[in-house]
Each structure stands twice: as C-alpha cells, then as structure tokens.
Structure 1
Amino acid sequence: MKKRAVCVLSGGMDSTLCATLALKEGYEIIALHFDYSQRTQNRERQAFNDVCDALGISERVVLDVSFIATIGGSALTDSAIDVPKDGLGEAVPITYVPYRNGIFLSIAAALAEKSCASAIFLGAVEEDSSGYPDCRVEFIKAAQNAINSGIATDIKIEIKTPIIGLSKAEIVAKSIEVGSPVHLSWSCYDSEDEACGECDSCRLRLRGFELAKEVDKIAYKKR
C-alpha cells in the first residue's frame, strides 16, 4: 500500500514546495485547502488548484472555516484593519491569525486519520515566519504529540515540516532545484489581481528571490 500524506496547501510558495517535496518522497497526496474569509481567498484557491494541476494531485479537499474570520483579530480577515506595508516591526504582527496552524493541524489530523495517512505536511517556516508563534518547532512537536494521543488508529501521524529551518532565499533556491511550480503560487496578503509588492509577505518573497538571484515571474503592482 502506498504511503499517504495530507498536505496543507494554501497556494503559497512555502506549501507549494512542501507538496513537491512530499511527492518526491513517494507520498500519495491529499491536498487540503482552507477558505477562512481571508482577503485573498479567491486568488489563493486559484493558486491551490493551479499548483495541484501542475503537480498532478487529484485528491483535493477544500473546507470552509470562515468561523476563523468571525473570531477576528487579524488584518487578513478583518477589512477594518489595514494590512501593514511599513516593514516587519512588531514581534507578532497584526497579520497573525490567532492559532491558525493549530486549527489547520487539528482538521488535517482528522482527515489523515480517516484517510489512513501517516504524515501531515505543513509549510511552516520559523526564520521568515514574521514572528508567528504557531510556526515554531516547539509548537509543531507539541501538536504532533497531542494529535497522536487523541486518535483511534494505530497509525502514528508525523507532522513533517521540511522547510521550517530555511530562509526565503533558500526556499526559492530549493523550489527551482526540485521543480516546484513557484510561478503558480500566491503570497500577497492584500491583492488578488496583481501582488501589491508592499505587504510583509510580498516583501519577504521578493527579497528571497533577490538573494537567491532568481526572477519572480508573478505580476506585481510595485516591486
């Protein structure tokens, strides 16, 4: 029986690389995408489907978890809060969605248990995570322990974060090396037609491409 994995795939460059690496490890992928009423929800879902098409991933699950927006507290889900475009300043920026990865991993664990999957791939990045606490290695290990203590199957689930220790430049270089369809991914927090080029995520992405001496092929309003 082929080994299976749930891959949390937002459509961003990090999760796109994770999905590519999972396939190269020989996993049969169940791609899991979340709509949580984020500003660029439609564009992210398009990127998710484009990436899945490019990688030949047919098993896809898209879930509406818009209750996350109801909880609030993030510029990504609350239109009354401006997406910051003045640099990475505060320790935990307003673009942090409270406990988002914890929620995503809990749902991914349920899907993995039901699907007899032995792994969950998550594109968490500790160094370039903008200070998000749910991207830390410590949190991922704790989540894995909690998941395995609460499932009914004998199959132990491993949360795999193959790029958690990489910088954005290393992620870009690795994407090019392994043929990850990074040109189909979407990172902008604020815009769905062309990437704004000014939000934290756009600037981290552009800086990664610059340091890796590669060209980002997506369209930007401002580079």
Structure 2
Amino acid sequence: MTAKTPAPVTLTGSHVRLEPLGRAHVPDLFQAVGQDEEVFRWLPSATPQTEQDVAGLVEAYLGTAGCEPFAVIETATGRAVGVTCFYDVNAVNEWVEIGGTWYGRSVWRTAVNTEAKLLLLTHAFEELGMGRVMWKTDNLNERSQNAIRRLGAQHEGTFRRARQRTDGSWRDTVYFSMLVDEWPAAKQRLTERLAAG
C-alpha cells in the first residue's frame, strides 16, 4: 500500500495550530517577520519590506506545485507567527520534505517549532503513511541545522553548489532525514521536551 498525498488539513497542538496558509494570514505574518533581515538571511526569497511583499510570498507558496503550506498559529495569541510546508511528495516511494519554514523572531527558541514539527511528523508518518521525511538547509545556516538535529533527524550529506543565494553566492545544501522506524523514539523525545517546557 502506498502513502497518501498531503491535502489541506488543520493540525492542532497545545502551543500551535497549523492551518492551510491563506491570504488572510498576510497582516499577521508581516507583523511577525516584516523587514527582519535575520529571519530571511538564508532563505531563497528577499526580506519582505511591505505587506504586499508578504502577500507575494504567500502567493508563491500557493502557486508551487507539490507544496502544501501551513500558517503556524500561536494558540496563546491566535496570530500567525510563521509558515511551514510539506514539499516534494512521493506517495509511491513514501517520502515527503518539510521545508519553507520561517518564524518571527519572537518565537525562536520556544515550543513553537518543536510542536509544529511534532504535528507535521505525526501527520506524515502516522496518517499519511510516509516512510521517510526529509529536510534541506543552507550549509551556512547553523541555527536551522541545529534545530533539525534536535528533532532527531540524521545528517545525510551535502549537495554542493546546489542553488544561488539572493546575494549571488552559491549555496551548498545540507540534507537530513528521519525514517519511519526512527520515528517512535523521536516522537517520545519531542513529546517529553514539550512537556518539560
């Protein structure tokens, strides 16, 4: 039996709710990340300077084939504080990528990313039937690599000169993955981390 392709769905936890990304999230997202160079430092898009720029990012996500984007809603405030996506789905070979993730700096080093990834991983492995979840990030983005490692993902290697950055330099891309048989132990660790606060 093959895995199922992701479809729009709302995933709810204690700290965050992931809901299908839409244009209504633009004002919150601009408030969370607008004009913050550090948030977009290693991302393939320029730092949004206006709400219209954020609207363009949202449209790009919605228009990308094979992308299922989520707005990350902080339950304490009810506001969108970031975006995360399923990408590159292959139901036959049972894999999906989690990517396109960014958050406002106010929620860095909080439970937001941990619970968002726990929700996505639970959905991918337990509801969609995926056998492999992947992440890719800029080799210079140590913060992202550390966050991925904390999830329990395994480093797989580096794809050299993978894409051009917005400043014209060439990025090497670091690859990580988690397999379905690694998921129970990772789920336990992530659940314990959230419970510990």
TM score, norm. by length of structure 1 = 0.33
TM score, norm. by length of structure 2 = 0.36
The structure with the greater share of residues assigned to helix is 1
Higher RCO structure (Cα 8 Å, ≥6 apart): 1
